[in-house]
């Protein structure tokens, strides 16, 4: 059954990340991106509080994103040189579509913040699964930009919101290569209660 690309399990078993720098057109259409985001929201959500946010950066806004990254490097990284700025420029322009996923925990809620943050991560993973189901490749990137205070402030709407990742979507420019996966024997065990 896992060899059948149309089966849900095969879809899950074949999803893998692509390099954002190698993505090419086409990327998701507006309707497909809307569908991807709706599926991303279908994640476990204790308390029904939707502790995540999605910020879509349009193609014509990539220059503005690059300026934000350059400014953040100048303000917050005194060691940033020309190579750092060149890398930031490339980062801002890669992929065909870009969604910034944020964790937006509801302060003081009975659901612990940790569970709310896990839900935001699950929403990001659902976004990647939805993109894969539509035939696109995704890349979940963080790096310095996800933790920079100036970059966070540009996307967050509250003091507790944090960037989960920059989700780049597009078509693979190169054939995706499978990478080694963990051996289940190394990470799965059966619980043995102590007497």
Residue 3 has a pLDDT of 44
The per-residue pLDDT for range 117-141, each reduced to its tens digit, is: 999 999 999 999 999 999 999 999 9
CATH assignment at residue 41? 3.40.109.10
Which of 43, 39, 65 minimizes the C-alpha distance to 136? Answer: 39
The CB density around residue 40, as the number of other CB atoms within 10 Å, is: 23
DSSP 115: H
Does 120 map to a domain?
yes
**Distance of alpha carbon 195 from alpha carbon 189, whole angstroms:** 18
Provide the residue range defining the domain that includes 41: 17-58+94-174
Low-confidence ranges of the chain (pLDDT < 70): 1-6, 195
Does 130 map to a domain?
yes
Listed in sequence order, the DSSP H helices in the chain are: 8-14, 30-40, 62-76, 82-93, 113-133, 144-147, 149-155, 184-187
Report the domain count for the chain.
Answer: 1
């Amino acid at each position: 059954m896992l060899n059948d690309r149309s089966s849900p399990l095969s879809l899950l078993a074949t999803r893998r990340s692509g390099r954002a720098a190698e993505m090419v057109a086409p990327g998701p259409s507006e309707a497909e991106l809307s569908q991807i985001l709706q599926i991303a929201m279908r994640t476990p959500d204790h308390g029904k509080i939707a502790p995540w946010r999605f910020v879509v950066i349009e193609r014509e806004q990539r220059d503005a994103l690059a300026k934000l990254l350059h400014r953040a490097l100048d303000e917050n990284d005194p060691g940033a040189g020309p190579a750092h700025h060149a890398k930031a420029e490339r980062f801002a322009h890669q992929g065909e579509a870009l969604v910034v996923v944020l964790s937006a925990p509801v302060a003081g809620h009975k659901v612990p913040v940790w569970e709310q943050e896990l839900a935001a991560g699950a929403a990001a993973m659902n976004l990647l699964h939805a993109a894969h189901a539509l035939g696109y490749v995704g890349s979940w990137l963080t790096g310095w930009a996800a933790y920079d205070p100036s970059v966070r402030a540009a996307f967050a709407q509250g003091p507790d919101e944090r960037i989960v990742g920059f989700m780049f979507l597009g078509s693979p420019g190169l054939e995706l290569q499978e990478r080694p996966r963990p051996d289940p024997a190394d990470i799965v065990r059966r619980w043995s209660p102590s007497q």
